[in-house]
Amino acid sequence: MIFNIMSIYTLQSPAGGFLDEELMHFNKVFDDWCIQFDNFEDATLIAQSLEHRESVNIVEITPLSYPKYFFFNLQGDIHATRQVGNKIICIVEPVMGSNFRLAICDIDTKHVRLTNTRYRNVLSVEGAFAHYEERS
């Protein structure tokens, strides 16, 4: 079962930066200082009003596409995400060069739990990631 997860729309440069609230600069990381819209139509209106419209894309931010924004306790580099029930499962490298782990992020409570198992490389964690199932 796939749960409906919340979406936020924002404006992004082709180089990857997110437009700030003042519509002047692009931030490397999406955060609360970036312009945000509840729907695609509002984002389109603002994007069309910008002088350099061709240099701005409308993107959808969700817990799957940008989990660190929705789960503040999620730390490290995220290598992959998928949804299982009401949870977002992430392959995480907590610190550069450290072992990989799975992060289980609950959409309803915003709680993040790292699994105890550590994996030496992405190939070894992929099996656990692909076969993770929610336990009752």
Residue 11 corresponds to which tokens in the numbers above?
A: 């404006």
Beta bridge partners, 93, equal 77
Give this prediction's pTM: 0.78
Q: Tell me: the pLDDT tens digits for 75-99?
A: 999 999 999 988 999 999 988 889 9
Sketch the domain layout of the chain as residue ranges: 8-61, 70-130
Residue 72 corresponds to which tokens in the numbers above?
A: 């503040």
At 49 the three-state DSSP class reads helix
- What residues contact residue 35 under an 8 Å CB cut-off, 6+ apart? 10, 11, 18, 19, 20, 21, 23, 46
Element (H, E) at 43: helix 40-49
Please give the C-alpha separations between residue 85 and each of 44, 95, 101, 132, in angstroms, as whole numbers.
Answer: 31, 28, 20, 11
Q: Tell me: the pLDDT tens digits for 12-70?
A: 998 889 999 998 889 998 888 999 999 999 999 999 888 766 678 999 999 988 999 99
